[in-house]
């Protein structure tokens, strides 16, 4: 309290307007230290009345506690038109939680550890449940492993046979979801019916993207992996749940001695948590967030089908077979100088943070991103948006996200529902810096940069991926890398990154430390340390001229340190690289020596 009183006196001298928010406050109060508001929405209304003519800055002090929201906090060009810089800050030594979830308090015991709650109609449908802050598993078979397609159907798209008696017969086909794994993506789709005579599973639409001819069921594997979700027959272990949307009945299995009255049981309701929306003419500027936790945000699959393509992009079921990306809980568009520092983004149903169209000079620093269904962080956009019928990146390249950075963040456990998601995805961006982050425990790629599968010029240029520690990724899928790049990116650099433990190579294509895919050109790969990789530490595919210099690549056995798929080896200029095979008797000694001297090395224990 003494700190705040002293700071208030100092702030007055500096013409800083302070607002206070507390879970115990009131939106009819004054917003002062003694009489705080109850919600951030009320604070934003007050911000709209404060002009830069009156104050040099606005600070919104947020007390510790939980703030439940149903609608996102919206800061737009109209609200912020005349505002001075605004800072949303946690009270020192507190961690306010902004959550889009609601609690389910009423449960009836059915015996044998089974509990039931009737979910109010206004909550709608949902795909996630959290118990004491931890994600609970939607009823699934098998619980942790995968089944294998026995034989692909004639059209290779809508049905396949299964091994008889391989899974429990669903009580009701309606609501059952099939999750089928492709090499680098996943399809989630509603089951139409299961034929017990022909032992076949039929889906409501095409499995895999229709717009890409290679997304047939057996293109990568004759017997791809799959599992089934969301039926009472699969509810067999503690902390699994099943939601019957017709009866609005949620069934939850708990340990026999556990009573839900002693638990916090939550489902996400809000579809976004924070939106910063400027316009090209009036961008929103100079807003910062420090010490806050953003948690729980809903995203439901449209039209019972998620046909994943890559990096949480999926195909819509429209006439054009358009691509969209799993949206983020926190989103900026046409925004300048936005800062997130020491914030957490946890347990999201979609992606977590998106620095979108027209976002410039914005920073995500010292933040933690964990337990995310889609991508952890997104910067910029892909190719698809049109302006007067033409691709945006051709007619308005100034719309590209510019000079944004991700620094000293920890990113883990992304792609929980949509396995082809990545830790950090950057589209057609320029001057993006990804520095000193730790990225781990992902089903697919760590960092993905670029979104053009040929060397055609785009706004993508001068991006830096430097001193990142990327490990234990590609845990489920393949054909990716600790770092994945594609397209023409003049001036871009991959420098001093530490990449290791990519041990799963599940599909037809390779899993690599770095994978420079189609069209990659004019990229510098320098001073990186890569080891314990299932295949080659570095792979090129349909790549062009690039410089590979002074790297340490530790490879397994006869696997080459650098692989070239449909790439001319002579097109890749190589200088002073060290490629060491496990066949060398000095392999372990050289690896330890290199680790100890590596500039980008951070010793951690996991």
**pLDDT tens sequence across 294-305:** 999 999 999 899
Q: Parallel, antiparallel, or unpaired for β 469-471 and 438-440? A: parallel
pLDDT the model gives residue 311: 98
What are the φ and ψ backbone dihedral angles of 349, each rounded to 5 degrees? -85, -20
pLDDT the model gives residue 317: 87
Q: Which pLDDT band, with edges at 50, 70 and 90, does 144 fall under?
A: very high
Cβ pair 351, 374 in contact under 8 A: yes
Average pLDDT, the chain: 95
Cβ pair 587, 554 in contact under 8 A: yes
Give the three-state DSSP class for 8. helix
pLDDT the model gives residue 9: 45
pLDDT the model gives residue 604: 39
Looking at per-residue pLDDT, the higher value among 407 and 2 belongs to 407
Any idea where the domains of the chain sit in the sequence? 1-100, 102-267, 318-606
Percent of the chain predicted with pLDDT > 70 = 96
Q: In 436-463, which positions are buried (b, 16+ CB within 10 angstroms) versus exposed (e)? A: bbbbbbbbbbbbbbbbbeebeebbbbbb
Check pLDDT > 80 for residue 567.
yes
- Report the CATH fold assignment for 318-606: Pectate Lyase C-like (2.160.20)
Cβ pair 441, 472 in contact under 8 A: yes
Check pLDDT > 50 for residue 587.
yes
Is residue 284 exposed (0-12), middle (13-18) or buried (19+ Cβ within 10 Å)? Answer: buried
pLDDT in tens, 355-367: 999 999 999 999 9
Between CA 175 and CA 229 the distance in angstroms is 9
Range among 169-178, 186-195, 311-320 rated most confident: 186-195
Distance spanning both ends of the chain, measured CA to CA: 39
pLDDT in tens, 306-340: 999 999 999 998 888 899 999 999 999 999 999 99
Mean pLDDT of the 479-494 span? 97
Torsion of CA 224, 477, 301, 324, to 10 degrees: -120
- The mean-pLDDT minimum among 159-173, 495-509, 530-544 falls in 495-509
Q: Per the structure block, which two tokens stand in for 426?
A: 């950057």
pLDDT the model gives residue 10: 45
Between CA 265 and CA 119 the distance in angstroms is 12
Q: Per the structure block, which two tokens stand in for 463?
A: 């991006």
Q: In 359-375, which positions are buried (b, 16+ CB within 10 angstroms) versus exposed (e)? A: bbbbbbbebebbbbbbb
Nearest to 371 by CA among 417, 322, 329: 417
pLDDT in tens, 54-76: 999 999 999 999 999 999 999 99
Check pLDDT > 90 for residue 423.
yes
pLDDT in tens, 80-93: 888 999 999 999 99
Between CA 1 and CA 20 the distance in angstroms is 13
Nearest to 270 by CA among 313, 339, 327, 344: 327
Check pLDDT > 90 for residue 487.
yes
pLDDT the model gives residue 14: 66
Q: Per the structure block, which two tokens stand in for 85?
A: 């810089």
Q: Which pLDDT band, with edges at 50, 70 and 90, does 473 fall under?
A: very high
pLDDT the model gives residue 602: 52
- The CA–CA distances, whole Å, from 256 to 110, 131, 238, 239, 506 equal 11, 16, 9, 11, 37
Q: Which pLDDT band, with edges at 50, 70 and 90, does 603 fall under?
A: very low
Check pLDDT > 50 for residue 427.
yes
Q: What is the pTM of this model?
A: 0.96
pLDDT the model gives residue 388: 94
Cβ pair 28, 36 in contact under 8 A: no
Return the sign of the alpha-carbon dihedral for residues 20, 21, 22, 28. Answer: positive
Mean pLDDT of the 168-186 span? 94
Mean pLDDT of the 263-276 span? 98
């Amino acid at each position: 309290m003494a700190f705040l009183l002293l700071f208030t006196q100092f702030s007055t001298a500096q013409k800083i307007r302070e607002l206070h928010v507390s879970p115990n406050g009131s939106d009819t109060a004054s917003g002062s230290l003694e009489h705080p508001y109850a919600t951030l929405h009320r604070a934003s209304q007050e911000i709209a009345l404060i002009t830069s003519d009156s104050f040099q800055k606005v600070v919104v002090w947020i007390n510790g506690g939980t703030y439940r929201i149903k609608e996102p906090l919206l800061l737009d060009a109209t609200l912020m038109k005349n505002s001075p810089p605004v800072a949303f800050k946690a009270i020192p030594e507190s961690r306010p939680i902004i959550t889009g979830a609601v609690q389910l308090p009423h449960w009836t015991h059915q015996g044998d550890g089974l509990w039931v709650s009737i979910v109010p109609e206004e909550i709608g449908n949902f795909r996630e449940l959290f118990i004491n802050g931890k994600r609970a598993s939607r009823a699934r078979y098998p619980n942790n492993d995968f089944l294998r397609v026995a034989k692909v159907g004639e059209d290779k798209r809508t049905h396949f046979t299964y091994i008889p008696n391989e899974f429990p017969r669903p009580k009701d086909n309606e609501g059952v979801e099939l999750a089928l794994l492709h090499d680098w993506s996943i399809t989630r789709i509603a089951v139409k019916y299961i034929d017990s005579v022909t032992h076949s599973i039929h889906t409501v639409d095409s499995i895999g993207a229709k717009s890409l001819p290679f997304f047939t069921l057996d293109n990568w594997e004759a017997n791809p992996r799959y599992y089934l979700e969301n039926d009472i027959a699969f509810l067999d272990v503690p902390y699994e749940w099943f939601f019957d949307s017709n009866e609005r009945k949620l069934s939850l299995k708990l340990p026999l001695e556990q009573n839900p009255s002693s638990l916090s049981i939550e489902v996400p309701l809000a579809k976004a948590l924070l939106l910063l929306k400027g316009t090209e003419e009036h961008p929103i500027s100079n807003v910062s967030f420090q010490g806050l936790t953003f948690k729980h945000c809903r995203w439901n699959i449209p039209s019972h089908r998620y046909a994943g393509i890559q990096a949480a992009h999926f195909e819509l079921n429209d006439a054009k077979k358009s691509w969209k990306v799993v949206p983020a809980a926190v989103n900026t568009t046409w925004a300048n100088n936005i800062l997130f520092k020491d914030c957490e983004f946890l347990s999201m149903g979609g992606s977590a943070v998106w620095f979108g169209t027209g976002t410039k000079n914005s920073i995500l620093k010292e933040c933690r991103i964990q337990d995310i269904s889609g991508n952890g962080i997104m910067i910029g956009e892909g190719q698809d948006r049109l302006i007067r019928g033409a691709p945006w990146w051709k007619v308005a390249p100034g719309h590209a996200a510019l000079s944004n950075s991700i620094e000293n963040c920890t990113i883990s456990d992304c792609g929980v529902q949509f396995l082809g998601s990545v830790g950090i995805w950057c589209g057609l961006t320029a001057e993006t810096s990804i520095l000193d982050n730790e990225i781990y425990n992902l089903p697919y790629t760590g960092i993905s940069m670029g979104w053009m599968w040929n060397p055609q010029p785009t706004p993508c240029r001068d991006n830096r991926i430097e001193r990142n520690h990327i490990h234990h990724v590609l845990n489920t899928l393949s054909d990716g890398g600790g770092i994945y790049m594609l397209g023409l990116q003049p001036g871009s650099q991959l420098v001093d990154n530490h990449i290791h433990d990519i041990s799963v190579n599940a599909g037809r294509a390779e899993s690599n430390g770095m994978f420079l895919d189609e069209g990659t050109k004019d990229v510098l790969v320098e001073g990186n340390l890569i080891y314990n990789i299932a295949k080659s530490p570095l792979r090129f595919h349909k790549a062009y001229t690039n410089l590979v210099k002074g790297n340490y690549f530790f490879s397994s056995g006869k696997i080459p340190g650098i692989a070239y798929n449909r790439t001319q080896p002579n097109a890749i200029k190589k200088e002073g690289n060290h490629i060491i095979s496990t066949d060398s008797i000095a392999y372990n000694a050289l690896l330890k020596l290199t680790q100890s001297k590596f500039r980008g090395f951070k010793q951690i224990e996991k």
